[in-house]
Amino acid sequence: MAEQTLKNIALLIDADNTTPQGIDPVLTVMAELGQVNIRRAYGNFAKDNLSRWDKITNKFGIRPQQQFDVSKGKNATDMAMTIDAIDLLYQGKVDGFGLMTSDSDFTPLVTRLRQDGIVVYGFGEKKTPDAFKSVCTRFIDINQLIANNADDKPNGKTPRNKPTDDDDLMELIGAAYKEAKKDQNGFAKLQAVGQIAGNRSSFDVRNYGYKSLSELFGSLDNFVVDRDDSNQVLIKRLR
């Protein structure tokens, strides 16, 4: 399914491997896809390290899914979350998923969901293994997202990662620009470049402290950003 406005979105939270601070900004991002009508958090909430989820679940209407530790070294939480995701898939009532986790064990689940054309946004820490990041439609660094959210508040200031410091990102956007159709002056439509990059990678500009792709390209010295007569954003590589 293309990234369009969707009707029914499920947010599944691996409480053992994420932070409750991210709920608010994650829900804001998920609103891009549609209504987040299903909100579930999985974990053993009897543990002290998950005590902060008590107030969070009530505040944001999240249904806690209690999973007691069956035995040492076995993760019942992951299994329960995966089963619920597959159940929702086969019920045919969910158009997109958000998964809050830094656990690469969910990689096969995301792969299966996307095989059915389901959009899957992943939210985890920067250290999340590439295997999980790469299979998501979009993967967003949750700590950077929290920082971006703080920037929207008075006196907030988001630290920005310089795109030029990330060789993989520069290669990605450079290749996307090269593949995009250009006019006689060498300008390509930003939307087309973003779509090509999105098809090749799960990157998201919010990982770098930017709110839009045009803002990110505007920060690059080797690209110029312009608009055509129909107000579409255009970009051109200078060198």
Question: How confident is the model at residue 206, as a pLDDT?
Answer: 83
Question: How confident is the model at residue 159, as a pLDDT?
Answer: 53
Mark whether 211 and 183 lie in a shared domain: yes
Question: How confident is the model at residue 1, as a pLDDT?
Answer: 44
The reply to whether 147 falls in a domain is yes
Q: Is 183 helix (H, G, I), strand (E, B) or coil?
A: coil
d(CA 69, CA 12): 19
Q: Identify the domain boundary among 121, 151, 181.
A: 151
Provide the 8-state DSSP code for 171. Answer: H
Q: Identify the domain boundary among 124, 151, 178.
A: 151
CATH of the domain at 211: 3.30.420.610
The reply to whether 192 falls in a domain is yes
Q: Which helix (H) or strand (E) holds 35?
A: strand 35-43
The reply to whether 63 falls in a domain is yes
- Per residue in 52-69, is it b (16+ CB within 10 Å) or e — as a string? ebeebbeebebebbebee
Q: Is 181 helix (H, G, I), strand (E, B) or coil?
A: coil
Total domains in the fold of the chain:
2
The reply to whether 90 falls in a domain is yes
Contact in structure between 101 and 39 (CB atoms under 8 Å): no
Tens of pLDDT along 203-213?
Answer: 788 888 888 88
Mark whether 109 and 183 lie in a shared domain: no
Mark whether 32 and 66 lie in a shared domain: yes
Mark whether 189 and 219 lie in a shared domain: yes
The reply to whether 2 falls in a domain is no
Mark whether 105 and 68 lie in a shared domain: yes
**20, amino acid identity:** P
Tens of pLDDT along 154-203?
Answer: 455 555 666 777 788 888 888 889 888 999 888 999 988 888 887 777 77
Q: Identify the domain boundary among 128, 151, 174.
A: 151
Question: How confident is the model at residue 155, as a pLDDT?
Answer: 52
CA distances from 221 to 32, 78, 161 (A): 30, 44, 15
Domain of 203 in residue numbering reads as 163-237
Mark whether 102 and 13 lie in a shared domain: yes
The reply to whether 67 falls in a domain is yes
The pair of structure tokens assigned to 216 is 């990110």
The reply to whether 1 falls in a domain is no
Mark whether 132 and 183 lie in a shared domain: no
Distance of CA 53 to the CA centre of its chain: 21
Q: What are the mean pLDDT values of the chain's consecutive 10-residue runs (239 residues total)?
A: 67 92 92 91 86 86 85 73 95 93 95 95 94 93 87 55 76 87 90 82 79 86 88 87
Beta-bridged to residue 10, according to DSSP, are 38, 97
Question: How confident is the model at residue 41, as a pLDDT?
Answer: 94
Mark whether 60 and 143 lie in a shared domain: yes
Mark whether 139 and 168 lie in a shared domain: no
Question: How confident is the model at residue 208, as a pLDDT?
Answer: 81
Mark whether 119 and 197 lie in a shared domain: no
Question: How confident is the model at residue 152, as a pLDDT?
Answer: 60
Mark whether 171 and 79 lie in a shared domain: no
The reply to whether 157 falls in a domain is no
Mark whether 22 and 97 lie in a shared domain: yes
CATH of the domain at 91: 3.40.50.1010
